[in-house]
């Protein structure tokens, strides 16, 4: 059974940084892309970033481009999201999701999500 466990959510001041982590078990992570999706309070789902199975391809939503960096350590079955220059509009529940293929596809397994609050 695939399990995704996220950590790192916190309260951070505007302009600050935060690193989110996602650990995947029950599957050979080297075979699959991974993605981050967020959901602002009371709002819909927003795709944030995606990384290919080998880590060579990364893409970002325009809203986070230049501020967020996705990376992965397949030896630890871990995916990271480094978030810099955080803004109030980055406040959201962040979900880590497994892609069904090596880099592009649908998101077949999701973590439970963690709350990031950007506020002074």
Residue 35 or 78 with smaller CB distance to another protein? 35
CB of 15 to another protein, least distance (A): 27
Residue 28, phi then psi, degrees to nearest 5: -80, 100
List 98's β-bridge partners, or say none: 34, 109
50 CB contacts (<8 Å, ≥6 apart)?
Answer: 33, 34, 35, 36, 57, 58, 59, 70, 99, 103, 104
Binding mask 52-91 for another protein (x = CB under 8 A): -------x-x------------------------------
Q: Which residues bind another protein (CB under 8 A)?
A: 35, 37, 44-47, 50, 59, 61, 95, 100, 104-113
């Amino acid at each position: 059974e695939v399990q995704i466990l996220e950590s790192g959510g916190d309260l951070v001041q505007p302009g600050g940084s935060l690193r989110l982590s996602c650990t995947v078990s029950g599957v050979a992570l080297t075979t699959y892309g991974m993605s981050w999706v967020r959901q602002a309070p009371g709002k819909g789902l927003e795709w944030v970033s995606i990384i290919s199975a080998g880590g060579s391809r990364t893409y970002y939503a325009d809203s986070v481009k230049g501020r967020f960096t996705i990376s992965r350590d397949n030896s630890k079955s871990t995916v990271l999201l480094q978030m810099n220059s955080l803004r109030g509009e980055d406040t959201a529940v962040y979900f880590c999701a497994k892609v069904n293929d090596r880099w592009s596809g649908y998101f077949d397994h999701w973590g439970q999500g963690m709350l990031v609050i950007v506020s002074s």
